Structure 1
């Protein structure tokens, strides 16, 4: 499978797919516990995240658009942080009463995010529920890792599930710092990978 660089024309289909992929995710359930409300707001939530990554050509997908890997290249996370107030307003418009939960997570992620070394930030990886466990995400992940290694830079992510942690470890990511403990919620595991 060949990874395809997504464009803004892919936003709607990928936002819908990511919403379906993350409907039962522990992190999105913590942000929005109500199943119906979560299903309603997740497409807009992922449109915003896609917009952020697309700004930096940071979305890989496949021909069927049933998988996506969102990332930020070196320097982009720091640049995005300078827009924190604007982004908080946009997410408040989407999330409404759940915006406080999102702000809690974002604040904790910012505190734990490594600084001082150029790195890729792998933000989200999702596969349509009907297409999981067939190697699609592995192919997208391998494509991005090859790019990262060719550029000789590091990579960082926060694993939010056992599956995400296992995939990260399979590709040489190691735990870094302390776990991100979300109050009465899931734990995120910061992971760092040196270029290989």
Structure 2
């Protein structure tokens, strides 16, 4: 049976945050950002909330109808890196909102921003989360399929950062290619920036 997908609405914000919190609580990158488990349990949802709020503001969120998986997407315009408002420091703002005493919140935001390609319009998969007990059932692939089909139809590339080896393998099966330069977190894991050219046939 196929996975039914719909666009999430802002009133579902807390549900989306809870799903992402559960899906990424034990992810290697989340463990690096919040190395102490007690603090991670207390503050991780705030980070997922910041991501969710930013996506509702400037992107779109797709949700499996049964509430088991979610994807955060952004349509990035051409040369987006040159259009940031002067004086606005998004990484510092996220740190202030999420965990002011934790420099790693700001650090990871700066490192991923520096790795993000500019110059070509593309679709950005910010994150995709699946409830832990449902991982490995193809929900991530099902959530991505409609957007990647749109990319192929409209000639748009897609971009993401894989945060673990399992997700990287999934993205490779869907046509993403490692850009060749990992984001190496200091004394921590790596993220793999991946790019997908639109495909035909």
- With structure 1 as the length reference, what TM-score do the two structures score? 0.91
2:6 corresponding residue in structure 1: 4
CA RMSD, 1 decimal: 2.0
Higher helix proportion: 1
Matched residue count: 195
CA distance, structure 1, for counterparts of residue 64 and residue 14 of structure 2: 15
- Counterpart pick for 1:147 among 139, 145, 150: 150
SS for the counterpart of 2:89 is: helix
1:174 equivalent among 165, 172, 177: 177
Q: 1:79 to 1:127 in 2, by over 3 A?
A: farther
* Aligned equivalent of 2:89, options 69, 85, 92: 85
Unaligned runs of 5+ residues in structure 1 are: none
User: Which stretches in structure 2 are left out of the alignment for 5+ residues?
Assistant: none
The separation in 2 between residues aligned to 1:185 and 1:176, in whole angstroms, is 20
Q: Structure 2 CA distance, aligned partners of 1:52 and 1:85? A: 14
Q: Comparing 115-124 with 78-87, which one deviates more in the overlay?
A: 78-87
SS state of the match for residue 188, structure 2? Answer: coil
Taking the TM superposition and a 5 Å limit, the aligned residue runs for 1:64-103 are 64-75=66-77, 78=81, 81-82=84-85, 84-86=88-90, 88-98=92-102, 100-103=103-106
Other structure's SS at 1:114 match:
coil
Matched, 1:161 2:164: yes
- The corresponding residue for 2:63 is 61
Asked if structure 2 preserves the Cα contact closer than 8 Å seen for 1:15 and 1:50, the reply is yes
Match 2:120 to one of 117, 122, 137: 117
The 3 A distance-change label for structure 1 pair 114 and 177 is farther
The Cα shift of 1:74 comes to 2.3
Q: Deviations over 1:93-149 (max 9, x none)?
A: 321222x11221122112211111111111111111122222221110112211222
Q: Tell me the equivalent position of 2:192.
A: 189
Separation in structure 1 between the aligned mates of residue 15 and residue 125 of structure 2, nearest angstrom: 20
Q: Structure 1 residue aligned with 2:17, among 15, 18, 25?
A: 15
Post-superposition CA distance 1:37-96 (Å, at most 9, x none)? 212212221111111111234211111222111121122964895485256224323212
Q: Which runs of 4+ in 1 moved over 3 A?
A: 76-84
